[in-house]
Structure 1
Amino acid sequence: MSSNPLILHEQFNDQVFSGLYNGDEISVRQRSLMFDWQQRNDTWGTPLLAILSGNLWEAPDWMFHRKVALTRWAMSLGARPDHHAPLKCEWWIEFPWEDLVLGGTSAVSLVSNALHLGAENDYPHNSLAMHRLRVFREVLAAATFAPTMHRVDVRASVPQLWEMILKDTNSSDFEFVDTLRRRAQTALGVGRSRLLDQSGRALAVCAVVKDSKLQNGDSLTLHLSQVQACATDSAFAAILGDGSVVTWGGADKSGDSSAVQDQLKNVQQIQASRSAFAAILGDGSVVTWGESDYGGDSSAVQDQLKNVQQIQAAGNAFAAILGDGSVVTWGSAHHGGDSRAVQDQLKNVRQIQSNEYAFAAILGDGSVVTWGAAGYGGASGAVQDRLKNVQQIQACVTFDGGAFAAILGDGSVVTWGDAGSGGDSSAAQDQLKNVQQIQVSSGAFAAILGDGSVVTWGHAAYGADTGAVQHQLKTVQQVQASSRVGGFAFAAVLHSGAVVTWGDADCGGDSTAVQDQLTNVSQIQATCRAFAAILENGSVVTWGDADYGGDSGFVQEQLKNVQQIQSSCRAFAAILGDGSVVTWGDADYGGDSSGVQDQLKNAEQIQASNCAFVAILGNGFVATWGGAAYGGNSSSLQDHLRVTSSGSVLAHVAVLQEACPKLPAIKSRSSHGDIVREEVPYSWAAMKHFTSLLYCGCFAEGLQIYEGDCSTLVELADAAICFSAQALIPMLAMHLRCQLQQASFGPICSFALRHGHDSLLEDCRYFARRFYHEDMGSQSWDAFHQSLPSSVQRFLRAEVSSEHRFAE
């Protein structure tokens, strides 16, 4: 019996919203491809409001940092901080000083209002809740200046450029859209992109312009997106801005996609096994390449791979969930690539987990179906009757076996697979109650319970024996295991910010040498045999095997203001606050980045294979280092790897200046501090700044936003609207909301009235209502009202004249 597609869609959305609310990053990322990040939901409001509403103000630090990361990531996929929840949304957020309903609010207005109310109620400025609200305000504001997807209106932004692009189009009946796209890319100085028509439809690059019904003067859009990188053990694959793919590295075949290159178009997502890749295209079909024994050949099931929603990779095989909830598998038959024995059971599949050689699928009713190598958990018959109402599954793999652990709805745990790899939890079964999350090493499991204690099972020498530290494992917030096969230790971060370690001492299970330094730890990353902890002050503490990154002494002075750390098997790479990168560990595994150090500036993210790293940079390039045969050398592909992420598009100032020699003047300050207001042509510096805004979607260095004045922002927003720079308007409006207060109300409300900006006007109404109710009839209200521009005064009189509006 088939399921109702509408119900399935609603269930899917609810799962993503629930994941955002609970900070379940893994669950959200698995479903992100098919999720509409700009949707408004009657229950949850918007994606960003769902993140904010999860009692964030009393959550442990690790959950707060996870939700901050989720917020940035959701915005990079299109979630808008200025999108308002439906008025019928009745979800409440509890703050220590007041409860706020989501209905009618946006993420940015909610945070601003909460801060405003907290201050009004004299809530301590340095309290945890106020601090976290301020952090979120900065995240919501700053992230919009670095979108991974933004649009540049070619005609409206640079009219003469559009005429140049279409100059010869009508003279040829055989002009291809791809030629038009390349002209626009060259003229704008951008990398690979998609060309959209006025309705937002992507134009086929192989189509003839005449057949695409384009006319001279039509407004087209270049759609730019950030590179996404994925790695096998020895190669990388990157999705470029136009949806094409480039690959490099690979001591095996996975680094060579030439055989399927013509099929790799409009790619949405890539997954990797140990030596093969699988790409989901925009139409739901799949393209694979790499070693056939590892899933690089999907020809046997190609006709079944339609409407694919997500793909899960094991070491040697892939499993794809289709739109109807069924599953298609391929790769090594004995290691999960053949699911025919359970095919009739694989219906209404919700998610799939895997280890090296087996898969476990959670169905819509909470039951589980497994397949693959029995010694790795591919056979769950012994516990099948207990696998009910399963919420999530974790997988473990060792040198000679593997296992799975499932958390049930009541907080208990069911395990199966190789006993020596953690498949037998009987010795700890009576303790496994109210389990919140599970982490795995190479041979052991560690479960965090609701009271913050930890229960372990599996191979004693690989982290299952916590006897020496069990009394310290209280108020545990997160647990990190040494990574990949061969990692035999755990590290737990406590609520106090201290760290407790156990397992193989040579793999980082003994941190006594640095214990006094491990205070105020915010997050931990691991290689196979070492750990690196980021402290709240941005410094780093390392321990474990020195050859695997356990000794950062040579770079310790550089490890300041660290934002994130990534690891290969034997090395670490840290991104600092200024976008530079510091590496340490085994040089052959990426521990030495000196060969590309001059390129490692403004790094936005880092990905790793076993032996190499790739950094996506803000200057429009990708830098790689580590084992050359394993993806550490991409020099032959640099022309293809140029990306168009935030800040990476080179501003063609001369082109813009020729097309638009005069723009509305930006308010500036003289050397004496007084404000200069003159309608004059832009200076070269101002032109460069506006161009950076137009093409990069981010503020150029040197611009200062004067808090409480905000006129610079207003005039930039005026310029953006004047020249239809659609990518900038919501970003600038968002920042105006963040500065909405008594001193800035006049210019912000005036801007909203001038351009009919409804959502910003709604925020102005809300602010005015609160201020009017608190000070109605007082001198402060009268003085405030008289200080405003006449248009704003008329707006407020219309609001005040209907008392019921303020009583809402």
Structure 2
Amino acid sequence: MAALTLRVSRLSGQTCEVQAAAAWTVADLRRAAEAELGGLSQIVRESGEILADASALSDVGVKHMETVVGLARQPQLVSNSCGHALSMSDGRVFTRGEDPSSRYLLPGHLCDVRKLVANNAAFAALKGDGSVQTWGDTTAGGDSEAVQSMLKNVKELHATWLAFAALREDGVVVCWGSPHFGADASAVQEQLTGVHQICAASRSFGAIRQDGSVVAWGDGFYGGDCSMVEEQLSNVQQLVGSDSAFAARRDDGTVVTWGNHGGDSSLVRGELYAVRRLYSAGDAFAGLREDGSVVTWGQPRRGGDSHQVQSQLRNVQDIKSTEANFAAILEDGSVIPWGRLSVFQDDGSILPDGSVITWGDSAFGADSTSVQSELRHIRGLVASHAAFAAVTAEGSVVSWGDPSCGGDCSKILDELVDVVELLGSDSVFAALRSNGSAIVWGGENCEATVHGGPRSPTDVAT
């Protein structure tokens, strides 16, 4: 293939032209476009086809002067008991261990990260070239040396509590970490080809194959064994995992379930039809039906019992969920919550005037009375496991809830200025500032860390 010129456009409308050499891969094109457009995670054709980074331009059939779309890299923040990892939209990556004396090694060089994933004790980073880098507790997947040769051309990463699974471009699945939490897929390894979607429960994984069938592995009590319903698992379009069960939506709108809590849907079997989307929260599931109604099952305290609000669940447009509850967004923009109401990520609602209301368990950030006077002109709100943080129109930050989850930022208020974006994770928050730096606070030690600052495009952070 002769050299060609390609137009790379962001969704914002910003466009550049790239002179591509004959031997280039899609990754080469993406990196060249980043010099003018900033961080890009993927290249997509206008038809919607995602071009794999490892593919040669000659193989994917792009044409001279064709316009392709560069998807902007989004900042990501993940955390667990070992520390946190933060990737910026410009490609910089920062990590920190929770305990400086920890035996867990942090990555020495980490850049061009497409996706960050954390389980309870380890981290995995999917890089732009389809490779994977891991760190953290070696028994939980922090050491991937045994499978590193197979971690090529990876397009998705997923995690149970103590294991990881990678889906490659060729539909093959690679697992590592604790064998008791889904890392041992030997019993179904021959079936783990032609896979196009993976999802995780706490101790098991499930996968949809190209033919619409489903494979599950891991702890059988937690959904890792679907043999009892295998004959029903055909033409599956969506697979969702809770802590200990799975639910599969078929192309006719019916639902098949298996596993522990939420795995038995017999009490609502007659209502599980015309379902257009499935959601999970802890040990419960919710199905949004075509007529805008909602059906729930599983652990009542985790949102499996919605009878108290069932009469209000009409004209539902979407459902949000976290570990212990659900909230339905209605057509008129109102929100109907149910479940334990303790760690719901959208417990705080931003009203049209920029004020915030909260509800639920005060131990998990629902009591905002101490900062209510400051919750005005809010333009962004994020949550951790048990706290909230809000950014104001002026770029300052207000947080409340459990200090070990980022609920107290009083010691760093002078630094939390000119904030353009907030990110939340399990135990820490990150404030991205206009000068290119980031401040992360929370965690077991309730400490704050400043990452980065003004930089040139060639700088790499570790």
Higher helix share: 1
Hey, what's the Cα distance between the residues in 2 that align with 1:344 and 1:519? Answer: 55
Matched, 1:382 2:267: yes
Shift of 1:371: 1.0
Matched, 1:490 2:347: yes
Match of 2:200 in 1: 313
Counting only pairs closer than 5 Å after superposition, residues 31-180 of structure 1 correspond to structure 2 as: 71=11, 144-148=37-41
Hey, what's the Cα distance between the residues in 2 that align with 1:556 and 1:252? Answer: 38
Match of 2:319 in 1: 438
Hey, what's the Cα distance between the residues in 2 that align with 1:360 and 1:304? Answer: 19
Over the aligned positions, Cα root-mean-square deviation in angstroms equals 3.2
Counting only pairs closer than 5 Å after superposition, residues 237-256 of structure 1 correspond to structure 2 as: 237-250=124-137, 252-256=139-143
Shift of 1:546: 2.8
Hey, what's the Cα distance between the residues in 1 that align with 2:307 and 2:399? Answer: 35
Shift of 1:143: 8.2
1:306 is aligned with what amino acid? T
Q: 1:324 to 1:515 in 2, by over 3 A?
A: same
1:533 is aligned with what amino acid? A
Match of 1:601 in 2: 453
CA contact (8 A) 1:538 1:560 kept: yes
Of the candidates 145, 163, 167, which is equivalent to residue 280 of structure 1? Answer: 167
Hey, what's the Cα distance between the residues in 2 that align with 1:511 and 1:244? Answer: 43
Q: Secondary structure at the match of 2:366?
A: coil
Hey, what's the Cα distance between the residues in 1 that align with 2:384 and 2:329? Answer: 22
Matched, 1:271 2:158: yes
1:411 is aligned with what amino acid? G
Matched, 1:405 2:286: yes
Hey, what's the Cα distance between the residues in 1 that align with 2:58 and 2:236? Answer: 38
1:431 is aligned with what amino acid? Q
CA contact (8 A) 2:384 2:427 kept: yes
1:377 is aligned with what amino acid? G
CA-to-aligned-CA distance 1:128-169 (integer Å, 9 cap, x gap): xxxxxxxxxxxxx9983443468xxxxxxxxxxxxxxxxxxx
Match of 2:104 in 1: none
CA contact (8 A) 1:441 1:490 kept: no
Match of 2:391 in 1: 534
CA contact (8 A) 1:255 1:290 kept: yes
Q: Secondary structure at the match of 1:296?
A: coil
Q: Secondary structure at the match of 1:383?
A: helix
Hey, what's the Cα distance between the residues in 1 that align with 2:409 and 2:140? Answer: 34
Shift of 1:300: 1.2
Shift of 1:566: 2.8
1:569 is aligned with what amino acid? D
Taking structure 2 as the reference length, what is the TM-score of the superposition?
Answer: 0.75
Match of 1:99 in 2: none
Match of 2:302 in 1: 421
2:449 is aligned with what amino acid? S
CA contact (8 A) 2:180 2:218 kept: yes
Matched, 1:543 2:400: yes
Hey, what's the Cα distance between the residues in 2 that align with 1:391 and 1:195? Answer: 34
Shift of 1:378: 0.8
Shift of 1:322: 1.0
Hey, what's the Cα distance between the residues in 2 that align with 1:505 and 1:577? Answer: 33
Hey, what's the Cα distance between the residues in 1 that align with 2:36 and 2:431? Answer: 20
Shift of 1:227: 4.0
Unaligned runs of 5+ in 2: 1-5, 18-33, 44-52, 62-110
Hey, what's the Cα distance between the residues in 2 that align with 1:243 and 1:82? Answer: 24
Shift of 1:299: 1.4
CA contact (8 A) 2:380 2:422 kept: no
Of the candidates 315, 318, 323, which is equivalent to residue 210 of structure 2? Answer: 323
The percent identity for this pair of structures is 41
Q: 1:200 to 1:446 in 2, by over 3 A?
A: closer
Higher strand share: 2
CA contact (8 A) 2:16 2:36 kept: no
Hey, what's the Cα distance between the residues in 2 that align with 1:314 and 1:576? Answer: 35
Q: 1:356 to 1:438 in 2, by over 3 A?
A: same
Q: Secondary structure at the match of 1:490?
A: coil
CA-to-aligned-CA distance 1:282-338 (integer Å, 9 cap, x gap): 211111101111111111111111111111111111111111111111111110111
CA contact (8 A) 1:602 1:618 kept: no
CA contact (8 A) 2:115 2:127 kept: yes
Hey, what's the Cα distance between the residues in 2 that align with 1:225 and 1:543? Answer: 33
Shift of 1:251: 5.8
2:175 is aligned with what amino acid? T
Match of 1:352 in 2: 239
CA contact (8 A) 1:602 1:619 kept: no
Of the candidates 331, 354, 368, which is equivalent to residue 255 of structure 2? Answer: 368
Hey, what's the Cα distance between the residues in 2 that align with 1:230 and 1:245? Answer: 11
Shift of 1:340: 0.9
Of the candidates 575, 587, 592, which is equivalent to residue 448 of structure 2? Answer: 592
2:129 is aligned with what amino acid? D
1:556 is aligned with what amino acid? L
CA contact (8 A) 1:149 1:226 kept: no
Hey, what's the Cα distance between the residues in 1 that align with 2:286 and 2:226? Answer: 21
Unaligned runs of 5+ in 1: 1-37, 39-46, 49-70, 84-140, 151-192, 202-223, 464-480, 484-488, 604-616, 624-808
How many residues end up aligned between the 2 structures?
383
Q: 1:143 to 1:545 in 2, by over 3 A?
A: farther
Q: Secondary structure at the match of 1:584?
A: strand
Hey, what's the Cα distance between the residues in 2 that align with 1:258 and 1:149? Answer: 26
Hey, what's the Cα distance between the residues in 1 that align with 2:57 and 2:40? Answer: 21
Q: 1:444 to 1:568 in 2, by over 3 A?
A: closer
Hey, what's the Cα distance between the residues in 1 that align with 2:449 and 2:410? Answer: 16
Q: Secondary structure at the match of 1:330?
A: strand
Hey, what's the Cα distance between the residues in 2 that align with 1:199 and 1:457? Answer: 50
CA contact (8 A) 1:547 1:586 kept: yes
Match of 1:396 in 2: 281
Of the candidates 432, 437, 456, which is equivalent to residue 337 of structure 2? Answer: 456
Q: Secondary structure at the match of 1:325?
A: coil
Shift of 1:81: 6.4
Bigger radius of gyration, 1 or 2? 1
Match of 2:227 in 1: 340
Hey, what's the Cα distance between the residues in 1 that align with 2:335 and 2:60? Answer: 51
